[in-house]
Amino acid sequence: MITPLEQTVLDCINDDELIGWVQALTRIPSVWKPELGIGEEAAARWVQARCQEMGLSTAFEFVQPGRPNVIAVYSPPVPPQLGRERKRLMFEGHTDVVTEGDPSKWTDPPFSATIRNGRIYGRGANDMKAGVCCALMATKAIAQSGVRLDGDILLGIVCDEEGRMIGIKHFVEQGWADQVTACIVCEPEENHLCIEQKGVMWVKLLIRGVMSHGAMPLTGVNTAYPMARFLTMAQALEEREIVRHPASPFLGRPSITPTILMSPVRGGGEPQNNVMPGATECTLDIRLIPGQDPDWIATQLEKMAAAACAIDPRLSYDFQVIEVRHATRTDREHPVVTTLASAFTDLTGQAPIYGGVPGSTDGTILNARKGIPIVTCGPGDIYIPHHIDEWVSIDEIKTAARMYVLAAMRYLGASAR
Ligand SMILES: [Zn+2]
Residues contacting 160, CB < 8 A, separation 6+? 32, 39, 40, 63, 67, 94, 96, 166, 167
pLDDT confidence of residue 85: 76
Cα-to-centroid distance, 81 and ligand 1 (Å): 38
- pLDDT interval class at 359 (50, 70, 90): confident
pLDDT confidence of residue 417: 77
Cα-to-centroid distance, 161 and ligand 1 (Å): 7
Overall residue count recorded for the chain in this entry:
417
Cα-to-centroid distance, 45 and ligand 1 (Å): 19
Is the pLDDT at 6 greater than 90? The verdict is yes
Range scoring the smallest mean pLDDT among 25-29, 76-80, 299-303 = 76-80
pLDDT confidence of residue 272: 95
Within a 10 A sphere around the Cβ of 385, how many other Cβ atoms?
20
Give, rounded to a whole angstrom, the gap between the first and last alpha carbons of the chain.
21
Residues linked to residue 131 through DSSP beta bridges, in sequence order: none
Cα-to-centroid distance, 139 and ligand 1 (Å): 20
Cα-to-centroid distance, 6 and ligand 1 (Å): 29
Cα-to-centroid distance, 243 and ligand 1 (Å): 32
One CATH from 3.10.20.30, 3.90.245.10, 3.30.70.980, 3.40.630.10 for 4-197+327-416: 3.40.630.10
Cα-to-centroid distance, 356 and ligand 1 (Å): 14
Which residue pairs from 241-248 have beta carbons closer than 8 angstroms and sit at least 24 positions apart in sequence? 241/292, 241/297, 245/289, 245/291, 245/292, 247/289, 248/196, 248/289, 248/290, 248/356
Cα-to-centroid distance, 225 and ligand 1 (Å): 41
**How far apart (Å, rounded) are the C-alpha atoms in residues 104 and 415?**
52
Cα-to-centroid distance, 193 and ligand 1 (Å): 15
Cα-to-centroid distance, 162 and ligand 1 (Å): 7
pLDDT confidence of residue 219: 96
pLDDT confidence of residue 268: 85
Mean pLDDT value of segment 307-316:
97
Mean pLDDT value of segment 340-367:
96
* For the chain, percent of residues with pLDDT exceeding 90: 93
Write out pLDDT tens, residues 320-337: 999 999 999 999 999 999
Specify burial of residue 9 (Cβ count, 10 A radius: 0-12, 13-18, 19+): buried
Average pLDDT in the chain: 96
Write out pLDDT tens, residues 130-188: 999 999 999 999 999 989 999 999 999 999 999 889 999 999 999 999 999 999 999 99
Write out pLDDT tens, residues 207-256: 999 999 999 999 999 999 999 999 999 999 999 999 999 999 999 999 99
Write out pLDDT tens, residues 67-92: 999 999 999 876 666 556 789 999 99
Cα-to-centroid distance, 326 and ligand 1 (Å): 17
Reduce the DSSP state of residue 231 to 3 states and report it: helix
Is the pLDDT at 358 greater than 80? The verdict is yes
Is the pLDDT at 20 greater than 90? The verdict is yes
Within a 10 A sphere around the Cβ of 229, how many other Cβ atoms?
18
pLDDT confidence of residue 80: 60
Where in the chain are the domains?
Answer: 4-197+327-416, 199-325
Range scoring the smallest mean pLDDT among 42-46, 135-139, 145-149, 374-378 = 145-149
Mean pLDDT value of segment 391-397:
98
* For the chain, percent of residues with pLDDT exceeding 70: 98
- pLDDT interval class at 360 (50, 70, 90): confident
Residues linked to residue 68 through DSSP beta bridges, in sequence order: 62
Reduce the DSSP state of residue 328 to 3 states and report it: strand
Which ranges of 205-329 would DSSP assign to H, the alpha helix?
224-244, 294-309
Say what the pTM is: 0.89
Which CATH architecture is the domain 199-325 placed in?
2-Layer Sandwich (3.30)
Q: Are 306 and 226 in contact (CB under 8 A)?
A: no
- pLDDT interval class at 95 (50, 70, 90): very high
Cα-to-centroid distance, 160 and ligand 1 (Å): 10
**How far apart (Å, rounded) are the C-alpha atoms in residues 252 and 74?**
38
* Phi/psi-derived region of residue 388, left when phi > 0, alpha when psi is between -120 and 50, beta in every other case: beta
Cα-to-centroid distance, 220 and ligand 1 (Å): 49
pLDDT confidence of residue 76: 83
| Amino acid identity at 369 | R
**How far apart (Å, rounded) are the C-alpha atoms in residues 79 and 413?**
12
Cα-to-centroid distance, 206 and ligand 1 (Å): 33
CATH topology agreement for domains 4-197+327-416 and 199-325 = no
Cα-to-centroid distance, 188 and ligand 1 (Å): 7
